[in-house]
Amino acid sequence: MARLKLGVLISGRGSNLQALIDAAADPSYPAEIAIVISDRPEAAGLERAARAGIAHRAIPHPSREAFAAAAAAALRQSGAELVALAGYMRILDGDFVAAWRDRLVNIHPSLLPAFPGLHPQRQALAAGVRFSGCTVHFVRAEVDNGPIIAQAVVPVHPDDDEEVLSARILTVEHRLYPMTVRLFAEGRLRVAGTIVAIAGATPPENAMLNPAERLVSAGG
């Protein structure tokens, strides 16, 4: 069975790209990375692609429209069937988003719809939430908006700062993104309006409390 061809857009170090590279290194994984595209020639993620023998290209960003046109052409040439934003830090052209509707995914380090936009971990800490995490969603024209596919949850600790919380979230991002691409590649996702149905998926059975219930009981 042919593997799904994945295009990945990045702007920086490419840690989520590396998670996808590592997943795709397993021949049983149902997707392979066809091309990596960055809007920044100095992005470290391009080196990751080069080391893995993956086609990669830097497209400087003279305008949103110019980038979209060049990226779309490169993706078509690569045969990409799904595009994953992995730390791509610019707003995409609306026509590009429309052309890839329900074939364009993003990962965001918050439990959307909470804390969209920049510095979501900082927003979470300022709000005093007890849990944070990450969300993979289909992309729409509005920033950090679109049907939610999957989420991962982490606790917020009393002594967390933005850097520590970001690192904790990033660890689960590296698990969630390859899993989500697998679900797409296996044809298990169906979008109905704002809702994504996942064939064969079941939610976890257990709730997680913060603070931990046993600590509250012990203190009482």
Q: Number of helices (H) and strands (E) in the chain: give both, helices first.
A: 7, 9
What residue ranges of the chain are covered by domains with CATH 3.40.50.170?
1-100, 107-220
Position 149 scores a pLDDT of 98
| pTM listed for this prediction | 0.95
Position 51 scores a pLDDT of 98
Percent residues over pLDDT 90 in the chain? 94
Q: What is the pLDDT of residues 146-184, one digit of tens each?
A: 999 999 999 999 999 999 999 999 999 999 999 999 999
CB atoms within 10 A of CB 189: 20
Q: Are the beta carbons of 87 and 79 closer than 8 angstroms?
A: no
The amino acid at 85: L
Q: What is the pLDDT of residues 59-116, one digit of tens each?
A: 997 899 999 999 999 999 999 999 999 999 999 999 999 999 999 999 999 999 999 9
Which CATH number describes the domain made up of 1-100? 3.40.50.170
Give the fold, CATH level 3, of 107-220. Answer: Rossmann fold (3.40.50)
Position 218 scores a pLDDT of 62
What mean pLDDT is predicted for residues 122-126? 98
Q: Is the pLDDT of residue 141 over 60?
A: yes
Q: Is the pLDDT of residue 122 over 80?
A: yes
What mean pLDDT is predicted for residues 50-57? 98
Within the chain, where are the H helices?
A: 15-24, 44-51, 64-78, 94-99, 120-127, 162-185, 213-219
The residues carrying an active-site annotation are 108
Sign of CA dihedral 27, 31, 35, 40: negative
